[in-house]
Amino acid sequence: MANLDKALFNGEFLERWYQNYHECKAYSRGNKPAAEDVEDELKKWVYIQGRIRHMLPPELRSKLSALDIDFEEKGHTWESMYRQLASYAQQNGHVCLPSDQRHEDLKDWLIRQVIGKRLLAQNQFQRLDRLGVDWGMFISRDYQWEQMYLRLKDFHDIFSHCRVPQNWPKDKQLALWVLVQRRMRKKDKLREDREQKLSKLGFVWDIRAVRASRWEMFLQQLTAFYRAHGHCRVPGKYEKLVGWIERQRLARKNNSLSVERVQRLDEIDFTWSCEGDREKCWDSIYTQLRAYQQKHGHCFVPVNYKENKTLGTWVGTQRTLEARGKLDLSKKKKLDELGFVWSRDAKSQLNAAYDAQWVANYEKLKDHKRVYGSCQVSLKVDPTLQRWTCWQRRHFYQGKLSQDRISLLNEIFFPWSLQEEYWMKMYNALAAFRDKFAHTEVPSQWEPNQPLAAWVYKVKSSKAELSPQKIELLDKLGFNWTLIRKTVVPWHDMYDRLVRFKQEHGHTRVPANWPEDPKFSKWVCRMRHKRGKLDPGRISLLQAIEFTWNAKKSTGALKHHNQTQVC
């Protein structure tokens, strides 16, 4: 799985993903204005992340969680659709939805849950199961095909291609479906309209053709190198090309390289073995080791290093030669300059050095917390320590961090995700509020820190999901857990009030903070401020009653009428 993820979530993908992420982050915080077409692109990217979140690596998912953005379609979140289904079950005693227009969206959603049941979280599956969902319900083949096509489209939106790996752990069903489409086409059994849809998406019908194309691409790169340098001894900095060269040598050794390909490589004086040119070969692999050391910070190359097996074997050979006293002193000196580990128990030495380095960084983090009050390290303050904290999170989510280290980091309230980091930031803001005002009841839209009141409300409403540690921290502040539920009035109900207001007063200029209905007056203000973001249908409804979009122009006349300011 790690190799598959590395191939899919490669440098090109990550560069593109982070570019969109930073654009979205800047725009959502109001730090960067966006033209209409840019805004549409960001909305599309946000929507795609919501659909494919389960496929992303943990570190990318945690970054998305830190964005103050709703990644679900409005009105179509999983929870809202589940509540509709639960309501139907309560009224009718079953969840066999009729095929009518009223229940069309809900039935479509339910079928998608049944088809993608393997992708559901355990608690989601259990909740649907308790409602009596029939997991073996009949679903037409056409509908199933369209749903799988949408999943392939999601894959394409993420990776910009349709080459789903075989047995891909994140969606084995999709990987199998892709293979079936190829077989169906090969047997001339795939419907023409489906073939056209897949081809339009860039579907690869012949994987062997793709592999052949990649082989030709690498051969062109090697040919260009040969013409520029007069030889095929490619330095280690060209990692992908070097890896391809090693694979050609290995394939020929195993008699799995075609005669035609051997001939084409011979045409550019390809070096099949380093035996005839030992010194140049040694220097070439030494260059590869230096590139490895610059990338990883050490020279401990595993013997079975998959990206470059020759390098792993060569490193072991240097240790053997040195132990027998057969390694040239000048070569030993060059290897020492890279910090080469000569002991056969090199891994233990390396681990010991890493342990000492980890403890040193942990102590630096403790000092940082004493000075700054949190474990959130800024790149401007200490870039090395900031990167170290990122690695701890990554290793934690990958299951590579030992329990001892997890316990040590927990002792200093290390945030394992950016969400945790945000939680502690808001907690510290609440503590400062309590110190200043002697209570924790933050007013709505409190000017010095507007998100704080919303955070307090969310904490109260999700107490059951909080860890005992967080509850204890809040209790120390004398936190008031009493929750006053917010009542949300549907948009059309507010619109009906506006219609009645116009019928009674002859206009739609509702005064700000109107004492007769403060919530209604605030809603009217929001409609004016959100004009550019409102649904076109709602704009049409408001214009149908001659809604006053810019109340400031007519404020004077209204003041004269009732001496009340309009928002």
What is the rounded CA–CA span in Å between residue 248 and residue 269?
14
What is the rounded CA–CA span in Å between residue 6 and residue 14?
11
Look at residue 41 in the predicted model and tell me its pLDDT: 66
Look at residue 32 in the predicted model and tell me its pLDDT: 44
**Tens of pLDDT along the chain (567 residues)?**
455 565 666 666 776 777 777 777 776 655 444 434 445 666 777 777 776 676 777 778 777 777 666 555 444 578 888 999 999 888 888 888 887 778 877 887 888 788 777 778 888 889 998 888 888 776 778 778 888 888 888 888 877 788 888 777 777 888 899 999 989 988 999 999 899 989 998 888 887 777 787 888 889 899 998 888 888 888 767 878 888 888 888 888 888 889 999 999 999 888 887 555 567 778 888 998 988 888 777 788 877 777 787 788 888 888 888 888 888 898 999 999 888 888 766 566 667 767 888 898 999 999 998 888 788 788 888 888 888 888 888 887 777 888 889 889 888 888 777 677 778 778 888 988 899 888 888 876 677 777 888 888 888 888 888 888 888 889 989 998 887 765 566 888 888 889 999 989 999 998 877 888 888 888 888 888 887 778 788 888 888 888 988 866 444 444 444 444 556
Per the CB < 8 A criterion, the answer to whether 308 and 242 are in contact is: yes
What is the rounded CA–CA span in Å between residue 158 and residue 249?
34
Look at residue 29 in the predicted model and tell me its pLDDT: 58
Look at residue 11 in the predicted model and tell me its pLDDT: 61
Angle at 213 between CA 212 and CA 214, to 5 degrees: 90
Look at residue 37 in the predicted model and tell me its pLDDT: 42
Is this structure's pTM higher than 0.85? no
Q: In the beta sheet, which residues pair with residue 511?
A: 566
Written as one string, the DSSP assignment of 501-531 is HHHHHSS--PBTT-TT-HHHHHHHHHHHHTG
Q: Where are the domains of the chain?
A: 2-66, 209-342, 347-411, 418-476, 491-562
Look at residue 396 in the predicted model and tell me its pLDDT: 79
Look at residue 34 in the predicted model and tell me its pLDDT: 43
Short-list 407, 411, 409, 373, CA closest to 391 = 409
What is the rounded CA–CA span in Å between residue 129 and residue 123?
10
Q: Which two tokens stand for residue 309?
A: 């097996």
Residue-wise over 525-562: b if at least 16 C-beta within 10 A, else e? bebbeeeeeeeeeeeebbeeeebbeebeeebeebeeee
